[in-house]
Amino acid sequence: MARECEVCGKKTQVGNAVETRGKAKYLGGVGTKVTGITRRKFKANLQRVRVVTGNGTHKSMRVCAQCIRSGAVRKVVRQQPFKLPAK
């Protein structure tokens, strides 16, 4: 399970790297031409994060940035935020 998000299953995808040459027509050129197409990999942005699981325990997981931002996982609070004393 290398380079795969443990929450959503996002992993490396393959695509094309398209190399172009020339000046665009709207900029006064004769147009761009494709000079090469090679295969490339789109790797998931994985982060190793300590996560609070459903039963309250802590676990280290490899999670993609999209799952962290969307709230699919809850990070462990290492230090409680500052609180004002009660009056």
**Number of domains the chain is built from:** 1
Q: Which residue has the higher pLDDT, 84 or 21?
A: 21
Band the pLDDT of 78: cuts 50, 70, 90.
confident
pLDDT of res. 48: 96
Q: How far apart are CA 67 and CA 7, in angstroms?
A: 7
| pTM > 0.85: yes or no | no
Domain coverage including residue 65: 13-70
Mean pLDDT of the region 23-40 = 96
Band the pLDDT of 82: cuts 50, 70, 90.
confident
CATH code of the domain containing 27: 2.30.170
Backbone phi and psi for residue 84, each to the nearest 5 degrees, phi listed first:
-75, 140
Q: Length of the chain, please? A: 87
